[in-house]
Structures are given as structure tokens and as C-alpha cells.
């Protein structure tokens, strides 16, 4: 589906439900973020990246070492 407006995207997301009745809450952030920002110099040394099995390029977590 092509979302022509943010409101259409919000409406579609809000309709999502699970079989057990879990509902989705939608909140858009409309802040402007700085582009080209780099990660902290010691980030790769202090964090362990855990990639998801299903979509590893898109789904991953940064977990602090020792946890």
C-alpha cells in the first residue's frame, strides 16, 4: 500500500490487532534530526550487536557488554 499522507499511514497502523486482542498505539515524532551524525567513538567496543534471525539487516539490538 502506498501512503499518500502520514494520516493514512497512522490509520492503517492503528487498525493492526493480534488474535488475542492486542492493540497498537501510534505516535509520530515530527522532530527534525541532524543528518550525518556519527556514533560515539567507543560504541563498538562497549556494545555487542545482536542480529535478528528473520531480518538481520533491519532488526538488531545493541546490548551493553556484561549484560
pLDDT in tens, 18-62: 889 888 888 888 888 888 888 788 887 888 888 988 888 888 888
Give the model's pLDDT for residue 62.
84
Give the model's pLDDT for residue 67.
58
Cα-trace Rg, the chain:
17
Enumerate helices (H) and strands (E) in the chain, giving the number of each. 2, 2
65 pLDDT band, cuts 50/70/90, is confident
User: pTM for the complete prediction?
Assistant: 0.43
- Sign of CA pseudo-dihedral 13, 52, 58, 60: positive
The span from the first CA to the last CA of the chain, in angstroms, equals 40
Amino acid at each position: 500500500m502506498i501512503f499518500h499522507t502520514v494520516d493514512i499511514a497512522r490509520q492503517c497502523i492503528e487498525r493492526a490487532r493480534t488474535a488475542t486482542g492486542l492493540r497498537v498505539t501510534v505516535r509520530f515524532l515530527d522532530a527534525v534530526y541532524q543528518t550525518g551524525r556519527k556514533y560515539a567513538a567507543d560504541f563498538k567496543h562497549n556494545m555487542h550487536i545482536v542480529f535478528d534471525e528473520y531480518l538481520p539487516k533491519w532488526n538488531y539490538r545493541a546490548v551493553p557488554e556484561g549484560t
